[in-house]
Amino acid sequence: MKVLDLQCRHGHVFEGWFASEDDFQSQRERSLVQCPMCADDRIEKRLSAPRLNLGAREPAATPPAASGSALARSAQAGSMAPSDAAPIDAGMLPPALQAAWLELARKVVANTEDVGSRFAQEARRMHHGEVEERAIRGQATPHEAVQLLEEGIAVMPLPLPAAAKETLQ
């Protein structure tokens, strides 16, 4: 099994598991490998360090006082005060934000009804009291979205990645 660090052309980084290098190349050529954030199928491998399993050793514990970063101190304190603001390692932040975004998107999918292209009609029916209000999602053209806003119906564009709509294997 090969575990590869992958990246789409938009800079989203994710991990993929493949039986072999040939399997990865075959799937990529058939556009089967897609970014879980934006569904882009132009995927490239990133440099990654091999993982060597050299036995079960407990990780070395770092005492809280030894951690010199403001981010680590603020995590222990529970918040970050402006005076503690320090540059955050950009290499750590994007994957965490991507994971948070996917979690939020999955919650939206789980707690809303997909009405598809009937979104504008359903939103109007709820607004006018024709049907009971409920959480819905779907597709609307930019023109339909503007019309809904002009009618006083609150809508919000929310692009949902394909990975939020199905379970990842």
Count of beta carbons in the 10 Å neighbourhood of residue 6: 21
R_g of the chain, CA atoms, integer Å: 22
Q: Where are the domains of the chain?
A: 2-45, 95-157
Q: Angle at CA 166, nearest 5°, toward 91 and 168?
A: 50
What is the chain's pLDDT, residue by residue, as a tens digit (169 residues)? 888 899 999 888 888 889 998 999 999 999 899 988 888 889 999 877 666 556 666 655 554 444 443 333 333 333 333 334 444 333 444 677 777 878 888 888 889 999 999 999 999 999 999 999 999 999 999 999 999 999 999 998 887 766 666 654 4
Alpha-carbon distance values, 115 to 26, 132, 143 (Å): 35, 14, 18
Q: How many CA atoms lie within 13 A of 157 on its CB side?
A: 8
Question: Per-residue pLDDT tens for 67-100?
Answer: 443 333 333 333 333 334 444 333 444 677 777 8
